C-alpha cells in the first residue's frame, strides 16, 4: 500500500496488496483505495487504520524528497491477512487528539525549534525524548569533553522543558528500536524531529521512519540545523554537484532567497499526564538499558579533572547568553575578520556592550579599558577566546544557526548600518562557511574519505602510526604544534588558525600522514566535532579539495611566534617549557644545554626532540604534492592506496 498526498487536499491513494483471508495459496490481489478528507491531519488517521488492519511494511525504494517539501511519512504496507475494511468515520473522530514524541538528537534547544512547534500542534500530550545511543558512547569514538558538554546540554534542556510544563526523558538504547517501541507502547501517533544530514543519522532516521510508518505514526522532520534546507540548495547546483568554491556557493545561497525566519515561541508543552517517566520507561521493557542523564563515570569514562574540559558550560541557556553578549560587542562584530583573530589568545574576560576587537588580557585591563570600577566590568564581562567559541553550541544545536543569523543581521543592518567587515572573513561569512560545508557534505558521496570521493585529490599519504601518535599525543617536539594539540586534548577546542597549523603539519606540511587519520582524531576530541565541517576543513588543509596552493606551508615555528612572542600559550599547555626563555620557546632544541638545564627542560629528556627537520620534510611533502597534482592533471592519478595500515576506531 502506498500513500501519496495530493497537492492541496489531504487526499491519499492507497494500493493494498493482499492475499484472500485464510488462504496462503490464493492469488495476491491489489486493492486501490482513494481516501479524501477536509481534515488536514487525515494522513495520520489513515495510517492508523492501516496499522489496525495489521498491515506490515513493504520494502520499496525511497524517492528523494522534493526540495522544500516537508518530510512526511510515506506509507508502504501490505495486507497481513483478513479483508481490509475502512471505517473512516470512526478514525476521523480519533484524529482530534494527538500524542507526539518529540525526539531530540541535535537541536538541543527550545528556541527556534520547528519540531517542537509541530509536536505541540493540536496535541493532547507531547513526550520529549533523547536516546543515548551506545554507538556514540565510547571513549574511542566520542571524547570525554564532548560527552560532558552533551550531558550538560541535556540537563539544561530538561530544565527549559520543565519551565514549559514538560520534561525530557533520556532513554539509553538503540534509537532504531527505542523510538518505534515508544510510539507503540505510549500510543503515540506522531513523531517529530529535526532533519539531520549526517550519513549515520540518515541511515538511522530512514529505519526509524519506516518503523514509525508501519505503526501508523505520522512523521515530521523539519529543517533547522542549517540556514537553508540543504535539499533546496542542492537542487540549485549544476548537475546536482555542490560547488567547491565559496563564491559559487554564495550565488546558490542567494538564489534560495532570504534565510527562513525562526520558528515561533512555544510557551507550554502538554505533558503526558497519564504516566510518570518511570511508567514510560517500564513500558519499553528491555528495549532500553537505562534512563536519565548519567554521569561520565556511569558511562565508563574517567572523571575529567576540574581544570579541564571546554571552558564554558554546555546547553542552550549558556549558548544564548554567550551569543547575546557577543552580539552586544558591536565594534567587535564590525571589525571581525577571521584571519586577523589571534589563535594564541587564551580565554580571558571580554567586555560586553559596544566593546571593540581588542580583548583585554585580564579583568584589570578590562576595568581600565572601561574606565569604570571592576565590579561593573565583572557584570558585563564574560570569558572568551578571540573568536566566538559558539561552535559546540551550533554543533549540538543549543544555539540555532537561524537565530544567530537573524540577530546578527539586526546588528549589521540596524546598529552598524552596513559599516562592517564582509564575507568570507566576517562573522556572517563564518556562518556561510558552515553552510558551504553542509552542502558539500550532503551532496558528495564518500565525503569523509579519499577513496570514491569525487571532489578529493588522490594523494599517496601514509598511515604512519609513529608519526600520527606523536602528533596526537602532543609530542612532535615542536612546542607550537604540541601546545595546540594539548589544548585540544584538555579542552576539546582550538582556534581555527591553530587547527590550520596542526592539520597542515600532519599532512602536506611535514608528516605526510593521511588527512583521514587527523580528521578521526579531531572527530573524537573536538567538542564541536561536525561531520561536514571537520572533513571539509581537513580536505582544505591537506590541499585535497577547496584549496590548492600546496607550496604555501605554515611554519611550525614561525606561525605561532607571529602572534605570541613570549610563548604564553605554550607555557600554559606545555608546563615542561614554562621556564624556557622566550628566545628558545618555539625551538627549545636550539637552546644551549645549560639554558635547557636552568629551565628544567632538557630536550630529549623532559621534552621531545623535533620529529622531523621542517626544512627537509616540507620540501619533500611539496614534491610529493606536486607529483600528485601532475598525475591529477594528466588523468593518471587513478585510485591511490595510502601507504601502511589504517588505524581502526579505538586503536
Ligand atoms: C582541520 C579543521 C577541522 C575543523 N573541524 C571542525 C569541526 O569539526 N567542527 C566545527 O564546528 N568546526 C570545525 N572547523 C572550523 C573552525 O575551525 C571552527 O568552526 C571554529 O574555529 C570554531 O570556533 P568559533 O565558534 O569561535 O568560530 P567563529 O569564528 O566564531 O565562527 C562562528 C561559527 O561559524 C562556523 N565556522 C567558522 N569557521 C568555519 C569554517 N572554517 N568552516 C565551517 N564553519 C565555520 C562555526 O559554526 C563557528 O562556530 C575545523 C577547521 C579546521 C581547519
Single pTM value for the model: 0.85
Kind and range of the H or E run holding 189: none
Q: Which residues line ligand 1 (CB under 6 A)?
A: 338, 387-391, 394-395, 430-431, 433-434, 437, 495-496, 499-500, 503, 522, 526, 528-530, 533-534, 537-538, 541
Section 200-223 average pLDDT: 97
Closest among 132, 152, 183 to 289, alpha carbons compared:
132
Check residue 62 and give its pLDDT: 35
Q: Other C-beta atoms within 10 Å of 318: how many? A: 18
In a domain, 460, yes or no: no
d(CA 272, CA 102) in angstroms, rounded, equals 12
Residue 575 above 50 pLDDT? Answer: yes
Q: How far is CA 78 from its chain centroid?
A: 37
Residue 85 and residue 106 in one domain = no
> To the nearest whole percent, how much of the chain has pLDDT over 90?
75
Answer whether 390's CB lies under 8 Å from 326's CB.
Answer: yes
Are the C-beta atoms of 559 and 479 separated by less than 8 Å?
no
Confidence of residue 359 (pLDDT cuts 50, 70, 90): low
Contact (Cβ atoms closer than 8 angstroms) between residue 194 and residue 165: no
Q: Give the three cell numbers for residue 525.
A: 576530541
- What does the angle CA 548 – CA 550 – CA 554 come to, to the nearest 5 degrees? 120
Q: Is the pLDDT of residue 6 over 50?
A: no
Given pLDDT bands bounded at 50, 70 and 90, which one contains residue 328? very high
Which residue spans within 330-386 are E strands per DSSP?
348-350, 382-384
Treating both helix axes as pointing N-terminal to C-terminal, what angle do 515-525 and 496-504 enclose, rounded to 10 degrees? Answer: 140
Q: Whose CA is nearest to atom 51 of ligand 1?
A: 537
Instruction: State in Å: Cα 403 to ligand 1 middle.
Output: 18
Which cell is 358 given? 581588542
- CATH at residue 584: 1.10.579.10
pLDDT tens digits, one per residue of 268-322 = 999 998 789 999 999 999 999 999 999 999 999 998 888 899 999 999 999 999 9
Nearest atom of ligand 1 to the alpha carbon of 437: 43
Cα–Cα distance, 46 to 271 (Å, whole number): 25
Mutation test residue for ligand 1: of 345, 471, 496, the one with most atoms within 8 Å of CB: 496
Query: Per residue in 513-555, pLDDT tens?
Result: 999 999 999 999 999 999 999 999 999 999 999 999 999 999 9
Residue 68 sits in the same domain as residue 139: no
Q: Examine residue 180 and state whether it is found in any structural domain, yes or no.
A: yes
**Nearest residue to 502 (alpha-carbon basis) of 460, 395, 493, 437:** 493
Per the model's pLDDT, the better-predicted residue between 641 and 337 turns out to be 337
**Residue linked to cell 576587537:** 357
- The C-alpha cell at 41 is 491531519
DSSP 8-state assignment for residue 203: H
* 268, 404: one domain: no
For residues 100-118, b (16+ Cβ closer than 10 Å) or e, as one string?
bbbbbbbbbbbbbbbbbbb
Question: Cα–chain-centroid distance for residue 522?
Answer: 13
- Residue 648's pLDDT band, with cuts at 50, 70 and 90, is confident
Give the Cα-Cα-Cα angle 643, 644, 650 (nearest 5 degrees).
Answer: 130
Q: What is the mean pLDDT of residues 82-97?
A: 36
Give 368's pLDDT tier (boundaries 50, 70, 90).
low
Strands 382-384 and 348-350, by their bridges, are antiparallel
Say how far apart CA 58 and CA 44 lie, in whole Å. Answer: 18
Closest CA to 222 of 261, 165, 268, 189: 261
109 and 180 share one domain: yes
Query: Is 428 part of a structural domain of the chain?
Result: yes
What separation in Å is there between the alpha carbon of 519 and the centre of ligand 1?
13
Q: What tens digit of pLDDT does each residue of 465-497 get?
A: 999 999 999 999 999 999 999 999 999 999 999
Structural domain ending residue among the three candidates 89, 111, 131:
89
Are 178 and 276 within one domain? yes
Inside any domain, residue 450 = no
Is there a single domain that holds both residue 271 and residue 331? no
Closest Cα to residue 534, out of 644, 447, 613? Answer: 447
All 3 cell numbers of residue 634? 594528466
| 197, three cell numbers | 544530514
Give the nearest ligand 1 atom to 395 CA: 11
Residue with CA closest to ligand 1 atom 37: 430
Total domains in the chain come to: 4
Of 411, 373, 396, 256, the closest CA to residue 318 belongs to 396
Query: Ligand 1 centroid to 530 CA: how many Å?
Result: 9
**H-helix or E-strand containing 192?**
strand 190-193
567 Cα: distance to centroid of ligand 1 (angstroms)? 24
* Last-in-domain residue among 442, 477, 495: 442
> Are the C-beta atoms of residues 569 and 344 closer than 8 Å to each other?
yes
Report the separation in Å between the CA atom of 431 and the middle of ligand 1, taken as the mean of its atom positions: 9
Pick the atom of ligand 1 nearest to 538's CA.
1
Inside any domain, residue 272: yes
Range with the poorest average pLDDT among 49-53, 194-198, 237-241, 387-391: 49-53
CA dist 479 and 475 (Å) reads: 8
Confidence of residue 1 (pLDDT cuts 50, 70, 90): very low
Between CA 117 and CA 123, with CA 119 as vertex, the angle to 5 degrees is 110
Q: Which atom of ligand 1 has the smallest separation from the CA of 518?
A: 1
Residue 243 lies in a domain: no
Domain of residue 513, residue span: 465-634
**Arithmetic mean of pLDDT, 191-197:** 98
* Residue 422 predicted with pLDDT over 80: yes
- The set of residues, in sequence order, having a beta carbon less than 8 Å from that of 32 and lying 6+ positions away, is 13, 14, 15
- Give residue-wise pLDDT tens across range 583-636: 999 999 999 999 999 999 999 999 999 999 999 999 999 999 999 999 999 988
For ligand 1, pick from 385, 391, 487 the residue to mutate: most ligand atoms within 8 Å of CB.
Answer: 391
Q: Are strands 190-193 and 218-220 parallel, antiparallel or unpaired?
A: parallel
Q: Domain check: are 280 and 361 in the same one?
A: no
Kindly state the DSSP code that residue 239 receives in the 8-state scheme. Answer: G
In a domain, 407, yes or no: yes
The C-alpha cell of 120 is what? 505541540
CATH at 327: 1.25.40.80
Instruction: Note the maximum CA span of the chain.
Output: 95
105 contacts 196 by C-beta, under 8 angstroms: yes
**Cα–Cα distance for residue pair 587/609, rounded to 1 Å:** 10
Measured CA to CA, the distance from residue 358 to residue 242 in angstroms comes to 37
Looking at the fold, whether 411 and 535 belong to one and the same domain comes out as no
Q: Closest ligand 1 atom to the C-alpha of 385?
A: 26
Whole-number Å distance between alpha carbons of 616 and 469: 21
Q: Do 21 and 62 belong together in one domain?
A: yes
Q: Is residue 252 part of a domain?
A: no
Instruction: State how far the Cα of 87 lies from the Cα of 211, in Å rounded to an integer.
Output: 24
The end-to-end CA distance of the chain, in Å, is 47
C-alpha cell at 559: 606561525
* 424-467 residue pLDDT tens: 999 999 999 999 999 999 999 999 999 999 999 999 999 999 99
State the chain's mean pLDDT as an integer. 86
* Count of CB atoms situated within 10 Å of the CB of 182: 26
pLDDT of the residue at 519: 98
Same domain, 405 and 480: no
Comparing 78 with 14, the larger pLDDT belongs to 14
Contact 75, 213 (CB under 8 A): yes
- Ligand 1 atom 18, closest CA: 496
d(Cα 80, Cα 1) in Å, to the nearest integer?
A: 11
Q: What is the CA radius of gyration of the chain?
A: 27
pLDDT the model gives residue 76? 29
**Whether residue 372 has pLDDT greater than 70:** no
Q: Per-residue pLDDT for 48 more than 90?
A: no
Q: How remote is the CA of residue 391 from the centroid of ligand 1, in Å? A: 6
Buried b (16+ CB within 10 A) or exposed e, 590-627: ebeeeebeebebebeeebbebbbebeebbeebbeebee
Domain end among 69, 89, 109: 89
Same domain flag for 379 and 488: no
Both 111 and 189 in one domain: the answer is yes
**How far is 489 from 472, CA to CA, in rounded Å?**
9
Amino acid at each position: 500500500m502506498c500513500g501519496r498526498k495530493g497537492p492541496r487536499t489531504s487526499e491519499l491513494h492507497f494500493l493494498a496488496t493482499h492475499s484472500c483471508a485464510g488462504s496462503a495459496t490464493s492469488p495476491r490481489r491489489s486493492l486501490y483505495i482513494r481516501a479524501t478528507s477536509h481534515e488536514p491531519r487525515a494522513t495520520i488517521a489513515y495510517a492508523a487504520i492501516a496499522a489496525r488492519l495489521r498491515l506490515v511494511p513493504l520494502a520499496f525504494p525511497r524517492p528523494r524528497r522534493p526540495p522544500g517539501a516537508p518530510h512526511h511519512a510515506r506509507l508502504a504496507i501490505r495486507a497481513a491477512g483478513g479483508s481490509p475494511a475502512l471505517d473512516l468515520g470512526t478514525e476521523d473522530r480519533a484524529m482530534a487528539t494527538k500524542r507526539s514524541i518529540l525526539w531530540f538528537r541535535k537541536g538541543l534547544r527550545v528556541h527556534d525549534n520547528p519540531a517542537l512547534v509541530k509536536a505541540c500542534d493540536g496535541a493532547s500530550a507531547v513526550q520529549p525524548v533523547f536516546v543515548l545511543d551506545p554507538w556514540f558512547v565510547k571513549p574511542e569514538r566520542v571524547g570525554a569533553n564532548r560527552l560532558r558538554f552533551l550531558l550538560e546540554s541535556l540537563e539544561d534542556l530538561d530544565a527549559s522543558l520543565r519551565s514549559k510544563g514538560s520534561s525530557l526523558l533520556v532513554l539509553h538504547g538503540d534509537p532504531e528500536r527505542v523510538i518505534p517501541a515508544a510510539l507503540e507502547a505510549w500510543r503515540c501517533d506522531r513523531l517529530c524531529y529535526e532533519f539531520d544530514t549526517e550519513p549515520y543519522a540518515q541511515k538511522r532516521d530512514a529505519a526509524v521512519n519506516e518503523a514509525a510508518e508501519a505503526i501508523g505514526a505520522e512523521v515530521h522532520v523539519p529543517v533547522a540545523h542549517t540556514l537553508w534546507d540543504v535539499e533546496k540548495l542542492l537542487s540549485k547546483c549544476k548537475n546536482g554537484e555542490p560547488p567547491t568554491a565559496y563564491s559559487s556557493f554564495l550565488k546558490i545561497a542567494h538564489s534560495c532567497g532570504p534565510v527562513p525566519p525562526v520558528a515561533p515561541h512555544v510557551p507550554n508543552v502538554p505533558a503526558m499526564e497519564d504516566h510518570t517517566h518511570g511508567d514510560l520507561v517500564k513500558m519499553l521493557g528491555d528495549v532500553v538499558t537505562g534512563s536519565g542523564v548519567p554521569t561520565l563515570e556511569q558511562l565508563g569514562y574517567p572523571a575529567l579533572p576540574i581544570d579541564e574540559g571546554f571552558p564554558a558550560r554546555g546547553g542552550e541557556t549558556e549558548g544564548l547568553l554567550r551569543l547575546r553578549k557577543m552580539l552586544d560587542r558591536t565594534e567587535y562584530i564590525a571589525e571581525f575578520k577571521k584571519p586577523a583573530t589571534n589563535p594564541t589568545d587564551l580565554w580571558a574576560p571580554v567586555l560586553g556592550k559596544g566593546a571593540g576587537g581588542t580583548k583585554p588580557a585580564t579583568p584589570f585591563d578590562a576595568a581600565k579599558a572601561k574606565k569604570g570600577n571592576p565590579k561593573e566590568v565583572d557584570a558585563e564581562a564574560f570569558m572568551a577566546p578571540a573568536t566566538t567559541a559558539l561552535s559546540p553550541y551550533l554543533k549540538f544545536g543549543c544555539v540555532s544557526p537561524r537565530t544567530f543569523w537573524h540577530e546578527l543581521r539586526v546588528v549589521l543592518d540596524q546598529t552598524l548600518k552596513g559599516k562592517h567587515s564582509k564575507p568570507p572573513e566576517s562573522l556572517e561569512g563564518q556562518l556561510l562557511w558552515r553552510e558551504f560545508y553542509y552542502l558539500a557534505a550532503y551532496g558528495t558521496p564518500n565525503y569523509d574519505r579519499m577513496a570514491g570521493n569525487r571532489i578529493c585529490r588522490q594523494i599517496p599519504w601514509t598511515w604512519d602510526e609513529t608519526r600520527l601518535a606523536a602528533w596526537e599525543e602532543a609530542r612532535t617536539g615542536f612546542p607550537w604544534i604540541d601546545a595546540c594539540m594539548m589544548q585540544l586534548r584538555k579542552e576539546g577546542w582550538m582556534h581555527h588558525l591553530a587547527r590550520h597549523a596542526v592539520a597542515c603539519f600532519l599532512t602536506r606540511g611535514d608528516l605526510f600522514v593521511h588527512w583521514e587519520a587527523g580528521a578521526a582524531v579531531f572527530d573524537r576530541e573536538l567538542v564541536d566535532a561536525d561531520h561536514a565541517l571537520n572533513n571539509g576543513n581537513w580536505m582544505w588543509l591537506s590541499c585535497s579539495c577547496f584549496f590548492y596552493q600546496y607550496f604555501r606551508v605554515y611554519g611550525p615555528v614561525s606561525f605561532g611566534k607571529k602572534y605570541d612572542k613570549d610563548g604564553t600559550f605554550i607555557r600554559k599547555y606545555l608546563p615542561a617549557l614554562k621556564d624556557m626563555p622566550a628566545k628558545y620557546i618555539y625551538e627549545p632544541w636550539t637552546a644551549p644545554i645549560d639554558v635547557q638545564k636552568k629551565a628544567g627542560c632538557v630536550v630529549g629528556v623532559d621534552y621531545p626532540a623535533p620529529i622531523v627537520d621542517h626544512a627537509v620534510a616540507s620540501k619533500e611533502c611539496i614534491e610529493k604534492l606536486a607529483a600528485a597534482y601532475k598525475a591529477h592533471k594528466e588523468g593518471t592519478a587513478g585510485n591511490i592506496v595510502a601507504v601502511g595500515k589504517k588505524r581502526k576506531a579505538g586503536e
